[in-house]
Amino acid sequence: MKKVILISVFIFQSLLISAQEKVQIKLTEPSPSASFEQEIGSTIIKVAYNRPLTRGRNIFGELIPFNELWRTGASTCTTFETNETIDFGNSTLEAGKYSIYTIPSKNEWTIIVNKDTTLHGTTGYDEKKDVFRFTVPVEKTANFYETFTIEVNDIDNKGAGFLKLIWENTMVKIAIKSKADENILALIEKEIVIKKTQNANLLFQAANYYYSTNREMNKAIQWLNEAEKIDVTNFNYPSLRQKIYVGLQDYPNAIQAAKTALAIAESKKMKVAESLKKQIGEWELAVKNKK
């Protein structure tokens, strides 16, 4: 019996030692990797980089010396990928994958777009592989950023935004813009202005794009009037027209457009009819009181 107990204790201790030997304490990465994908206009932007931490150090001008090439992150080079040609800073960047290097200084940074995406840091960097360079001013942030951060933000409805590089209280912004707005305007010019295409849905889409991007509202109204002549039963056409007139604070015309939309909504038994009636009543009262 004692032998069985001793053998059991020995096996248990062996298993315990074996389990302890397998236990490992994995250190956290000093500069964790990050990647993200962002749609802007019709373009998909992908960024991959490593994020060093401040850890009580003074960064720009000390840890990252001024006027010297920086990998714009840590570890392997930071990469920027676009699936379409875009405006990047003050230049045009073709679809593809690139590395982003920078030369920070006190008041401005030099932004470098390079073709080589295989480098570890700045080792092997070749200026001959630069696509282009440009400078951007330095801005100060209200909040302190412990971790180096890259983000695409401030995106507007024309497909423009900023690639932001932020660390400590320092930020630089690179303007980026999709070609979507340019392409849509070119299509509108070709199909509607030049060819004068009589397609109600296309006219509506053009008007809606002008409305959503705050362009020439008189043109948008003109196209909606043409669309309504082609298709008198589409609720969306007078509905958008009344929204434009409200934006212009032209309530008499907004009421007229809303009544046209209401007639269509009632004929089709649409739920929006009741709210339209209420809205028309409020506008009519406001116009009456103004007189």
CATH number of the domain enclosing 204: 1.25.40.10
Same domain, 135 and 184: no
Given a contact cutoff of 8 angstroms between Cβ atoms, the answer to whether 167 and 145 are in contact is yes
- CA 76 – CA 72 distance, rounded (Å): 10
Residues 224 and 266 in one domain: yes
Q: Are residues 159 and 227 in the same domain?
A: no
Structure tokens at 19: 């389990």
pLDDT tens figures, 126-142: 999 999 999 999 999 99
Output the average pLDDT for the chain.
Answer: 92
Distance, in Å, from the CA atom of 197 to the CA atom of 190, rounded to the nearest integer, reads 9
Residue 41 sits in the same domain as residue 140: yes
Q: How many domains does the chain have?
A: 2
Q: Are residues 100 and 193 in the same domain?
A: no
Which of 159, 178, 197 lies at the terminal end of a domain, its last residue? 178
How far is Cα 104 from Cα 137, in angstroms, rounded to an integer?
Answer: 10
170 and 281 in a common domain: no
Which amino acid is located at 25 in the chain?
Answer: I
Asked, for residue 141, whether it belongs to a domain, the answer is yes
3-state secondary structure at position 238: helix
Q: Is pTM, for the whole model, over 0.85?
A: no
Place of tokens 């406001």: 286
Q: How confident is the model over 222-256, as pLDDT tens digits?
A: 999 999 999 999 999 999 999 999 999 999 999 99
**Do both 188 and 129 map to the same domain?**
no
Phi and psi at 9, nearest 5°, equal -65, -40
Domain range spanning residue 279? 180-290
Residue 284 in tokens: 């009519």
